[in-house]
Amino acid sequence: MFISPKIKIIGKHIKENFYCNLCNYPLLTLEDFNKEKLYQCCHECYLSFIESRKNEWKNGWRPNKKEIDSYISIRNKLYNKKEK
């Protein structure tokens, strides 16, 4: 029996992003994927950066690198405490 190694994609090809564009954490929950489609970030980043600034976000505002680095540092500390 012969099986062709070629893969044929039928229908629409949807590119999924599996990491948050802001914090680079993996998208894990349905909320993460929903927020990624709407705002290009995970649910946690949405709550931290976007929820209170929706109009600014729509007009192009984005947190600067220093704000994101500080947020990631705090988030890492929170997750590391949970693992102990």
The whole-model pTM stands at: 0.72
User: How much is the pLDDT for 2?
Assistant: 61
Residues 6+ apart with CB under 8 A from 61: 53
Domain locations along the chain: 30-83
Tell which residue, 52, 56, 14, has the closest CA to residue 36: 14
Q: Which residues of 15-54 are buried (b: 16+ CB within 10 A; e: fewer)?
A: eeeeebebbebebeeeebbebbeebbbbbbbbebbbeeee
Phi first, then psi: what are they for 32, rounded to 5°? -60, -50
* Ordered per-residue pLDDT tens for the chain, 84 residues: 566 677 666 666 566 678 999 999 999 999 999 999 999 999 999 999 999 999 999 999 999 999 999 999 998 888 776 555
